[in-house]
Amino acid sequence: VPPEKPVNISCWSKNMKDLTCKWAPGTEGETFLHTNYTLKYKRRWYGQDNTCQEYHTAGTYSCHIPEDLALFTPYEIWVEASNRLGVAVSDVVMLDILDVVTTDPPSDVHVSRVGDLEDQLSVRWSSPPALKDFLFQAKYQIQYRVEDSSEWKVVDDVGNQTSCRLAGLRPGTVYFVQVRCNPFSIYGSKKAGIWSDWSNPTAASTPRSERVAGGCDPKGGEQNTTLRRELKQFFGWVKKHAYGCSNLGIKLYDQWRVWLQKSHKTRNQVGKEP
């Protein structure tokens, strides 16, 4: 059986000089005949066809072009599949190197407690070192999960800052945190780059609650209900008017916690009066 045309070509560049592309062999996969794949590329309006030489660098169906690529120039890229019964050619993909830039994950990710606040952690990291010398901006994402869960929560609104405070966490709990980067506005390119891989997980624990474990609090149910209601109201407001890692959101959250602590202290004092 002749080969089917390769599909799903995707490419990325780590340093704006190279290019790595991968593809899939077709809807039916490879036939029982051995199939050769050749990735070819050329500048869109001129130039001769070039053949990629470094295969299997990012998986079975991949090839790496290490150098001699021009910026601000659209390229046409395609893959040819051949066996002794015929040849199939993929659709042509057109791209500019600046539109497919990615980076290494952010480095030096540190997660630490925020004083004695039992429901917050501070996350800090460094920009990807390989692209510090290039003109680009970066936006970041954070994901975190509790130790005994496989479900990650994603913070999308970190922007281009390299720190963030996670709030609303469970006291006395170990959290794993990862960060990734997306370069954009590279030399004026209007398209976002490609998200990097996630950084290696970094773990930290929130402080335990000051409440004595096992203690009997006759008003605990009522206070917990009130606290949950207040939390729901606050986070609903923040979701509308602030952002997860913005200074405004954190300042508002801190002010709200101070008010809440004073409010609860006043309630307890009133409750103790004869």
pLDDT digits (tens), the chain, 274 positions:
778 899 999 999 987 778 999 999 876 656 667 889 999 999 888 778 999 999 998 888 999 998 778 888 889 999 999 988 889 999 999 998 888 888 889 989 999 998 888 888 999 999 887 666 566 778 899 999 999 889 999 998 788 889 999 988 999 999 999 999 988 766 666 677 789 999 999 999 999 876 533 333 444 455 556 666 666 666 555 544 444 565 555 666 666 666 666 666 665 555 555 5
CA separation for the pair 50, 68 (Å, rounded) = 11
Q: pTM of the full predicted structure?
A: 0.69
Nearest CA among 25, 58, 46 for reference residue 66: 58
The pLDDT, as a whole number, for residue 3 is 85
The pLDDT, as a whole number, for residue 255 is 66
The pLDDT, as a whole number, for residue 241 is 46
Nearest CA among 122, 155, 123 for reference residue 140: 155
Host H or E run for residue 239: helix 220-241
The pLDDT, as a whole number, for residue 116 is 83
Q: Does domain 101-210 have CATH number 3.40.50.300?
A: no
CA separation for the pair 81, 89 (Å, rounded) = 6
Q: Which CATH class is domain 7-98?
A: mainly beta
End-to-end distance of the chain based on CA atoms, in angstroms? 92
CA separation for the pair 162, 177 (Å, rounded) = 14
Counting runs of H as helices and runs of E as strands, what totals does the chain give?
2, 16
Task: Supply the DSSP symbol for 3.
Answer: P
